[in-house]
Every structure is written in C-alpha cells, then in structure tokens.
C-alpha cells in the first residue's frame, strides 16, 4: 500500500468511524508479500522448466539413447561455458547491489545494477550469436527442437530478468531505494528472480552441454 497510512496505535481504535481507506491488514507472517509472491512464481516457473526437461529426457533416454546428440552435431561447450561464467558472475554483482543499498550506498547500488545488466545483456548477445553459428535449426530432428526450446525458454527468462533490471536501474538513477526492506524491494525482488535465472541456466547447461 503506497498511501502512508497512519500507524494505528494500540489505543487509537477510537477513530475508526472516519476511516476511509482500507484498514491496515494484519500481518500473519513475517515474510514480505512481494517476496513470497515472487518465490511462488518461481516455483511455477521451475515446473514449466520441468515440463521441458521431462520432454528432454523422454527424447533422450526413451527414444534415442544411442544417438544423442545425433551424429554430426557438435555443441560449442567452450563458448557456452564462458557464457555460464558471465551469467554466474552477474549473480554476485546483483548481490553486491543489494548489500550496497542495505548500507545506504547508492553509488554501489548503481554500480552493481549496471554491471548486472551488462553481464546479462552480454549473455544474451553471446547466446544469440551461438544460435546463428550453431549449424542446425529447431526443425532439425527432435534434438534441434528440444535444444532450442530449452535454451530459448531460458533466454526468454533472461530477457524478462533484464527488463526488470532495466526498471531497477532507472529507478536507482532517479534516486529511489533505501536501506529498509520496504524501500528496496524493487532491487530485492528482481534480484531473487535473477538468481533463479542463473541457477536455472546452470541446470540447463549441465543437462544439455555436459551430461
């Protein structure tokens, strides 16, 4: 609730007649609503990825156990590995940004957010480049389909994460955010999402490129 409601003291029940806004709801849990919301959202995101992983393992284990990946397909493990490093390091920068604002360090916040954004954009750029040069298309067999779907699904999440980070950056440069939790949710929540995107990439990377 943005409207600054007057903190209702223990004895202030008298003025409930001229109350016009919503009454302050009772907090029955300590966790912040937005944080809980994003965690649940991430749960459903994980299940969406799980659906595609299920498809992946059906195709790989049940249908083509011997020819996976199909002959002639060489995945650019090295480039993807570098990309992994890029994305994982952005988890540290966003964490730094959050720590900074908790200590009311605005320059640190801007630095952290900016770096995270750049790292994320680099990741997307490299991935699109990889798509162009990879030598097969989504139409090439089931492998092509699941490869592009899983990495593409993840790429779409990076894109959404970048969008959220863009907002956070704009607001940081406008001087928003402060050390109290309710004042830096705009950093914390995209941050949680960003960590999820990172961890999910590690799972995707290990599944598709390594094992």
Binding-site member from 149, 195, 199, 207 for another protein (CB under 8 A): 149
Binding span for another protein by CB under 8 A among 91-99, 132-140, 194-202, 203-211? 132-140
Asked if residue 85 binds another protein (CB under 8 A), the reply is no
Which residues are CB-neighbours of 190 under 8 A, at least 6 positions away? 94, 161, 164, 165, 167, 168
* Site membership for another protein, residue 135 (CB under 8 A): yes
The whole-angstrom separation of Cα 167 and Cα 72 is 43
Q: Say whether residue 130 binds another protein (CB under 8 A).
A: no
Closest CA to 201 of 94, 83, 96: 83
65 binds another protein (CB under 8 A): no
Do residues 195 and 94 touch, judged by C-beta distance below 8 A?
A: yes
CA–CA separation, 69 and 89 (whole Å)? 29
CB of 157 to another protein, least distance (A): 13
Backbone angles phi, psi at 132, to 5 degrees: -65, -35
**Of the candidate residues 126, 138, 160, 207, the single one contacting another protein (CB under 8 A):** 138
106 touching another protein, by CB under 8 A = no
Distance CA 101, CA 209 (A): 37
Residue 136 binding another protein, by CB under 8 A: yes
59 binds another protein (CB under 8 A): yes
Separation between Cα atoms, residue 186 and residue 2, nearest integer Å: 14
Q: Does 51 bind another protein (CB under 8 A)?
A: yes
Report d(CA 201, CA 211) in Å as an integer: 14
Which CB, 85 or 173, lies closer to another protein?
Answer: 173
- Tell me the H-state helices in the chain: 33-57, 77-102, 106-133, 141-173, 185-205
Whether 15 and 168 have beta carbons less than 8 Å apart is answered as no
Candidate list 77, 181, 202, 210; residue touching another protein; CB under 8 A:
181
Contact between 72 and another protein by CB under 8 A: the answer reads yes
Q: Does the protein bind another protein through residue 52 (CB under 8 A)?
A: yes
Residue 133 as a binder of another protein (CB under 8 A): the answer is yes
Residues that bind another protein (CB under 8 A): 1-3, 13, 16-17, 19, 21-33, 36-37, 40-41, 43-45, 47-48, 50-52, 54-55, 58-59, 62-64, 70-73, 132-133, 135-146, 148-149, 166-167, 170-171, 173-174, 176, 181
């Amino acid at each position: 609730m943005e409207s600054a409601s007057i903190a209702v003291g223990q004895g202030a029940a008298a003025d409930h007649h001229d109350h016009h806004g919503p009454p302050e709801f009772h907090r029955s849990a300590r966790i912040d609503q937005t944080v809980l919301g994003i965690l649940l959202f991430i749960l459903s995101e994980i299940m969406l990825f799980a659906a595609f992983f299920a498809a992946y393992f059906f195709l790989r284990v049940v249908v083509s156990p011997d020819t996976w990946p199909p002959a002639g397909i060489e995945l650019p493990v090295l480039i993807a590995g570098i990309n992994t490093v890029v994305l994982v390091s952005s988890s540290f920068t966003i964490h730094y940004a959050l720590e900074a604002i908790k200590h009311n360090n605005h320059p640190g916040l801007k630095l952290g957010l900016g770096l995270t954004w750049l790292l994320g954009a680099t990741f997307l750029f490299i991935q699109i480049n990889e798509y162009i040069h990879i030598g097969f298309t989504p139409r090439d067999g089931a492998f092509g389909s699941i490869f592009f779907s899983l990495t593409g699904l993840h790429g779409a999440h990076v894109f959404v994460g970048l969008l959220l980070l863009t907002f956070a950056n704009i607001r940081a440069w406008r001087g928003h955010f402060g050390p109290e939790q309710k004042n830096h949710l705009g950093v914390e929540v995209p941050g949680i999402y960003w960590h999820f995107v990172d961890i999910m990439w590690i799972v995707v990377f290990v599944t598709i490129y390594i094992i």
